Every structure is written in C-alpha cells, then in structure tokens.
Amino acid sequence: MMNALKTNDLAQNSKRVFKQIVSVLLISFAMIAFSFDAAKGASRIKDITHFEGVRDNMLVGYGLVVGLNGTGDTFTTGGFTTLSLKSMLNRLGVKPTDAGLDSKNVAAVMVTATLPPFSRQGSRIDVTVSALGDAKSLLGGTLLVTPLLGADGEVYAVSQGQLAVGGFSAQGNAQTVTKGVPTSGRIANGAIVEREVSYALGSLRSIKLTLRNPDFTTARRISQAINAFLGTAASKPSDPTTVVLNIPKNYKKNVVNLMTDIEQLRVVPDQHARVVIDEQTGTIVMGDNVRISRVAIAQGSLTIRITEAAQVSQPGPFAQVGTTTTVDRTDIQVDEQAQRRLGIVEGGVTLQQLVNGLNALGIGPRDLITILQAVKVAGALQAEIEVM
C-alpha cells in the first residue's frame, strides 16, 4: 500500500515538474519571438498609422506687432501696414492723419498655429509670428489681439502676447551681422482656443486606420495583428492605405481603450525596393530590398589638368643686346583612368554586400549616381529610382 502511494506521489510530482518546464519553454519561446520581431524592425501600429478623424487643424491670422525699436515696417502711402494701423486706431476711437503715421515701431505679421485634436475651449496653444512687410527685426515686439481662422473661415482661437525671437541683427557702417531669423518669433501658449472642433469619437461604429506609407502587405499585417489580438475578424484592409475596424461588442462604450490597445500592437512594415537620389547634394539612400542582378561595371573619367606658370627671360650680365621679357609656360596632364578595370557585382546580394561591391570600385557618390542610373537602364537594378 505504501509503495502504491509513493508511486502516485512520484507521478504527480513528475506531472507538476513537466508542466513547469513546458510553461518555462513557452515563455522562452515567446520572448525569443518578441526579440526576433524587434530585431526585424517591428513597429507599433501608432507609429505607422493614424486614426482617421484624429487630426490637427491649421489656423492662420493677420495682425500687428508693436513696440519695436525702430526695426518695423517702412510706412508708405496706401501700404497694408498703414491701412491696418489706421483701422485698428479707428476701432479704438482714435482718428490719425497720414502725417502722424511715420513710426518704425510697428510691423504687419502673419500668425500661424496648429489646433491639436480634441482641444477644448479655453485651452492654450503655441503660435508662430512672421513678418509680412520689410521689417528688419521683431525683437522686443508685442503681438496685438489677432483672431486665428480655420479653413472654413471661422475663428477658432485668439492670439496675443510678447514675442520670443531667437535671432538678432546688428549693423554698422562697414559690416552687418545677422544670427538666425530675426523676422520670425514664437509665443508659447500665445493663443486661447475659442471654438472646438466637434468629433463624436464615442459614438463611432467603426474606426479607419490610415497608413503613413501605403502598402498592401503592411495593411494586411496590421489587420491580422488586430484580429489576433481581439480573437475575431473585426478588421480588414479596404485598400493599401486604409484598414477598417468594426468596434467589437465589449468595446462599444469604450472606444478609447480599444484605440489604446490597438496602437501598441507591433507589426513589421513592408517597403518597396527603392533608391532615392538627390543629385544636388550627392545623397543616395537605398532600401533593404534593393537587389542587383549579376552585372559587370567599369567606371572611369577623363581628367585634364592645365597649369600656367609664367617665367621671366632676361639676357645675361653685361649683354649688349636683348631685353627682359615674360615667357608663358603651359603644362598639360591627361589622366584617362586607364588602371581601372571591370568589376563584377554578384546577383541577389544583400544590401550590405551591394554597398561593399560598389565601394570596392573606388568611386564617389556623384559617379555612383550615374552608375545606378546606368544599371537601371540595363535592367539589372531590381528597384525603383526616385530622383529628388
């Protein structure tokens, strides 16, 4: 009897140990899979998409900056600064004459701001102030009350305050020093929101996720990750830019929690094989999927160097004839790069091997741009070239 009880205890202990080992292995596999995804460049959904309707709105306004130290606009008859100053003073009960408007302490400016999503009435936002006329600097100026309009022409915020200008300008009779941009400034929390942009987030029945870089594969991976997390086929890609998500029943009255849970999911975004070239700066950027078929490349350039060195020719000492004169001496050197030979770039290589092969040819970025364009024409570059 005792032997049977001991056998049962040993069997139960063995099962318990086995379950613990399996649990540890599952956790280890999950950590390895997570690390593998992170190594492959997995990104959060919130970093590669944005929720449709949750967006910023641009605001713009026209106003006056006063209190400048003689660096404002130059007043001219009929100028917009003069007309704006007259209009403002008239509203305040002052009727100035043209002869009295010769101050250089006023500047006409454009005021811009970004209204964040779900900004509530009374909250504050930052504004940027930029000179519109010929003002030299906005340093020390104060922006007067300026309404900020949206695309629909409605006033959404009102701005006023002291400008913070990062640049300055100093001028003398023989030299001028300018640092930064003195004709542009910023007012932190310089505008008060007066009108809200309504958006009924809680009553939505579906959410649309918009990809920042449209791609069919990435859209499907996002949909699969969301469905795997929710345990139901609630989302599907409608096009390479949009993933439509129908709100599940357990999230009907808490859309914010759903959006929070979804945006933390990680997927590996796919990308096109593309080579971006900026010919002005000689910059070349190649994606990870760029491949080149087996091809032979030879690159050489003709360099002609001409050196002019004038020499003085004069007669010997105590010579009876001859005059001192200047004789031109020209040295011409031609470098045909004859030592360069054909180099073979293997096909189907990785991006690192491709870069190493091109660098082995001993060429600079400018010549590399020409080579990549020629390889594309030959049909050996399996990627799209985009010239900026």
Residue-wise DSSP of 330-379: EEEEEE--TT---EEE-TT--HHHHHHHHHHTT--HHHHHHHHHHHHHTT
CA atoms within 13 A on the CB side of 98: 4
Count, residues in the chain: 388
Bridging pattern class, strands 142-149 and 57-66: antiparallel
Q: Are residues 380 and 277 in the same domain?
A: yes
The answer to whether residue 89 sits within a structural domain is: yes
**pLDDT tens-digit profile, the chain (388 residues):** 445 444 555 556 666 655 566 555 544 544 444 444 444 568 899 999 999 888 899 999 999 999 998 888 888 755 788 888 888 888 888 887 766 677 888 999 999 999 999 899 999 999 999 999 888 899 989 999 999 999 999 999 999 999 998 877 777 776 777 777 889 999 999 999 999 988 888 788 889 999 999 999 999 999 999 999 998 899 999 999 999 999 998 888 788 889 999 999 999 988 888 888 887 777 888 877 787 777 776 666 545 565 656 677 777 776 666 677 777 666 666 555 555 554 555 555 666 666 666 676 666 777 777 877 887 888 878 888 888 7
Q: What is the pLDDT of residue 163?
A: 93
Q: Are residues 228 and 291 in the same domain?
A: no
CATH number, domain of 206, equals 3.30.70
Q: What is the pLDDT of residue 334?
A: 52
Q: Are residues 129 and 243 in the same domain?
A: no
Q: Are residues 254 and 356 in the same domain?
A: no
User: Distance (Å, rounded) from C-alpha 291 to C-alpha 294?
Assistant: 10
Q: What is the pLDDT of residue 283?
A: 80
Q: What is the pLDDT of residue 38?
A: 45
Secondary element (H or E) of residue 176: strand 176-179
The answer to whether residue 353 sits within a structural domain is: yes
Which amino acid is located at 342 in the chain? L
Q: Are residues 109 and 208 in the same domain?
A: no
Range of the domain at 291: 273-301+338-388
User: Distance (Å, rounded) from C-alpha 299 to C-alpha 372?
Assistant: 11
The answer to whether residue 38 sits within a structural domain is: no
Structure tokens belonging to residue 40: 């492959």
Counting the structural domains of the chain, the total is 3
User: Distance (Å, rounded) from C-alpha 316 to C-alpha 360?
Assistant: 57
The answer to whether residue 104 sits within a structural domain is: yes
Q: What is the pLDDT of residue 280?
A: 78
Confirm if 196 and 119 have CB atoms less than 8 A apart.
yes
Q: What is the pLDDT of residue 21?
A: 62
Q: What is the pLDDT of residue 292?
A: 76
Q: Are residues 246 and 290 in the same domain?
A: no
Q: Are residues 159 and 230 in the same domain?
A: no
Bridging pattern class, strands 274-278 and 384-387: parallel
Q: What is the pLDDT of residue 111?
A: 97
Confirm if 246 and 206 have CB atoms less than 8 A apart.
yes
Which amino acid is located at 385 in the chain? I
Q: What is the pLDDT of residue 347?
A: 56
Place of tokens 């009907």: 252
Q: Are residues 96 and 158 in the same domain?
A: yes
Structure tokens belonging to residue 235: 């989302």
The answer to whether residue 306 sits within a structural domain is: no
How far apart are the two ends of the chain, measured CA to CA in Å?
A: 86
